[in-house]
């Protein structure tokens, strides 16, 4: 079926509501828009669905959500006889239509005879991950598009271990979804009928109590909080998302007394009216918080994204400037804090392990070496960290200490199997309070790490390429640098290429190829001389290709100059690829 035939089918189908038909009729003279909405189905990948809200097969709407849920239901029924009774947990964040999509998914599952545990209000991603295991579910669904702009929403699927579906299982679900007719094959019922039948079970605050009790168990220095609480001040913003209730509650329960809130950003709002983007990776998201910090003389700010799985931190330098710490910086600070705190009380296990992704800073490696702790690198995506936690528990081989990725996601504890900004908020605040007792800010603590381990700095170049043309351009860029790797990047010679798509590491000087133990993924990582590196990967959730850079130098200025030159070198290389 062509995209135009698909468009016409939606306009004529009795299964499509009149509001959707009106939206489609309004673009009848915009051929490019019709093509973009219908040239493909919204892709179901290892992160589930994520797309622009609107009518069409390549959009997030009730029809694509119901089709996907029917595919998931068929997968459960075909592969897990006990799955109907185990059930599926569903939660959602503050995005536009998140609550609607959650209820539609619940109704499809109930119509297929599958038990559902449906959240009675928005809740964060890590709590959904926890709830899957708390109720013993076969799967979980989280309606969210994380930190994407307001026009996006998404649908993430979790396995029975509370982690996002691994690639092999996602592929099986996708194969079923592709065979499912978006209108003819979908079963559904009303929400009232689902509840009356006992198949849709609504959960609420009672689950929060259990989840937060697990979070509190991850405290490392409760005494430091107790001593600092009267004077130590912080600012928190939930950026209109789902972190407001759980983050404020955990901070209160562990004893923090001076938590200032960005009032304009407390209420959930999927239009995110006070920010350009609800992304704690971007300093502009903290403009209002910084204004408040200057007014109240506060040097520590943090904020969580809409689904509360990522956290960003802003600190004040000695000269009064407020700077945003990168995910790599916070990861290094947490690594030092977790390991040093556990060592101080003789609770650092011999088999302790820190897990991070292949595009994350190598400063934590230096920290872990100093403490005799193993570091494991996994593919980008927290599901791979979750898989390692499961593997450790089954084998009893390692003790998980901390997992994180450069994109502002952290997890201490095994109560969740996804990044958790609730536990991260508690521990980062505790860490800041701990250093405050030494008359140090988190910025001071970072400078101390640089003195101890070397100045590691990283940079991200993210290039957005939307539409059909963008997809093809991203493919050409990856093929170009894979087949013709650069010999030099700025002043650095390129020595090794790790191509994770074929699980190999090639010595570019000798041509020797050795295997690596990572699942195949479209990621390229280049090792350069001088402790520098860069990596390239297409985003799995956005129309972007991302380049990651890292270096080590004698000072911040030298490291930043090196990163500038490396980034320009790769940008020039990209410009030559047609």
Task: Indicate which residues carry an active-site annotation.
Answer: 146
Distance CA 214, CA 127 (A): 11
Long-range contacts, 530-538 (Cβ 8 Å, 24+): 530/491, 530/492, 531/362, 532/489, 532/492, 532/562, 532/566, 533/362, 534/489, 534/566, 534/570, 535/358, 535/359, 536/477, 536/478, 536/481, 537/359, 537/380, 538/474, 538/478
Rounded Cα distance between 320 and 556, Å, is 18
Side-chain half-sphere exposure of 325, counting CA atoms within 13 A? 29
In this structure, what token pair is assigned to residue 381?
């995506």
Outline where DSSP puts E strands in 248-321.
Answer: 259-261, 300-304, 311-316
DSSP state of 410: E
Any residues with CB less than 8 A from the CB of 401 and at least 6 apart, and which?
Answer: 338, 339, 342, 349, 352, 353, 354, 373, 412
In angstroms, rounded to a whole number, what is the distance separating the alpha carbons of residues 529 and 540?
29
Which two tokens mark 573?
């290389």
425 CB-near residues (< 8 Å, 6+ apart): 236, 243, 247, 250, 251, 302, 304, 311
Per-residue tokens: 452: 């101890």
């Amino acid at each position: 079926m062509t995209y135009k035939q698909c468009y016409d089918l939606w306009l004529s189908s009795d299964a499509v509501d009149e509001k959707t038909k009106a939206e489609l009729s309004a673009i009848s003279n915009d051929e490019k828009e019709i093509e973009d909405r219908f040239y493909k189905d919204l892709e179901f990948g290892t992160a589930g669905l994520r797309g622009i809200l609107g009518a069409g097969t390549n959009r997030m709407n009730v029809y694509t959500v119901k089709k996907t849920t029917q595919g998931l239901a068929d997968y459960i029924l075909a592969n897990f006889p006990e799955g109907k009774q185990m059930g599926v947990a569903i939660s959602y964040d503050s995005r536009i239509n998140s609550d609607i999509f959650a209820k539609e998914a619940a109704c499809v599952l109930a119509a297929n005879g599958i038990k559902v545990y449906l959240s009675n209000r928005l809740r964060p991603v890590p709590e959904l991950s926890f709830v899957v295991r708390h109720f013993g579910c076969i799967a979980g669904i989280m309606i969210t598009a994380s930190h994407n702009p307001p026009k996006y929403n998404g649908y993430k699927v979790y396995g029975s271990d509370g982690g996002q579906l691994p690639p092999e299982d996602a592929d099986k679900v996708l194969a079923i979804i592709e065979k499912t007719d978006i209108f003819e094959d979908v079963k559904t019922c009303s929400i009232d009928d689902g509840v009356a039948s006992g198949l849709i079970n609504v959960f609420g605050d009672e689950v929060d109590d259990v989840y937060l009790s697990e979070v509190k168990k991850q405290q490392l220095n409760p005494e430091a909080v107790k001593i600092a609480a009267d004077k130590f001040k912080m600012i928190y913003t939930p950026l209109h998302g789902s972190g407001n209730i759980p983050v404020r509650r955990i901070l209160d329960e562990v004893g923090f007394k001076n938590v200032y809130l960005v009032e304009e950003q407390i209420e959930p709002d999927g239009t995110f009216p006070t920010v350009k983007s609800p992304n704690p990776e971007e300093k502009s998201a903290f403009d209002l918080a910084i204004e408040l910090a200057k007014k109240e003389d506060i040097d520590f700010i943090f904020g969580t994204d809409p689904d509360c799985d990522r956290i960003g931190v802003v600190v004040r330098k000695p000269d009064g400037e407020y700077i945003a710490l990168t995910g790599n910086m916070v990861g290094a600070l947490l690594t030092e804090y977790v390991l040093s705190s556990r060592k101080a009380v003789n609770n650092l296990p011999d088999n302790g392990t820190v897990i991070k992704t292949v595009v994350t800073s190598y400063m934590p490696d230096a920290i872990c070496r100093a403490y005799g702790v193993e570091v494991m690198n996994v593919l980008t995506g927290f599901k791979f960290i979750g898989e390692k936690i499961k593997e450790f528990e089954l084998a009893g081989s390692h003790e998980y200490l901390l997992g994180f990725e450069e994109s502002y996601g952290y997890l201490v504890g095994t109560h969740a199997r996804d990044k958790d900004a609730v536990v991260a908020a508690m521990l980062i605040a505790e860490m800041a309070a701990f250093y405050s007792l030494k008359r140090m800010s988190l910025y001071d603590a970072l400078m101390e790490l640089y003195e101890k381990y070397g100045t590691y700095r990283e940079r991200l170049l993210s290039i957005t390429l939307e539409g059909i043309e963008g997809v093809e351009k991203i493919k050409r860029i990856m093929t170009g640098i894979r087949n013709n790797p650069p010999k030099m990047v700025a002043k650095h010679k390129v020595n090794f290429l790790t191509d994770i798509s074929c699980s190999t590491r090639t010595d570019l000087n000798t041509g020797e190829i050795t295997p690596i133990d990572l699942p195949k993924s479209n990621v390229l990582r280049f090792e350069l001389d001088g402790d520098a590196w860069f990596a390239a990967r297409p985003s799995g959730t956005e129309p972007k290709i991302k380049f990651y850079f890292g270096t080590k130098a004698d000072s911040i200025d030298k490291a930043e100059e090196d990163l500038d030159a490396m980034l320009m070198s790769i940008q020039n290389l990209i410009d030559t690829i047609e």
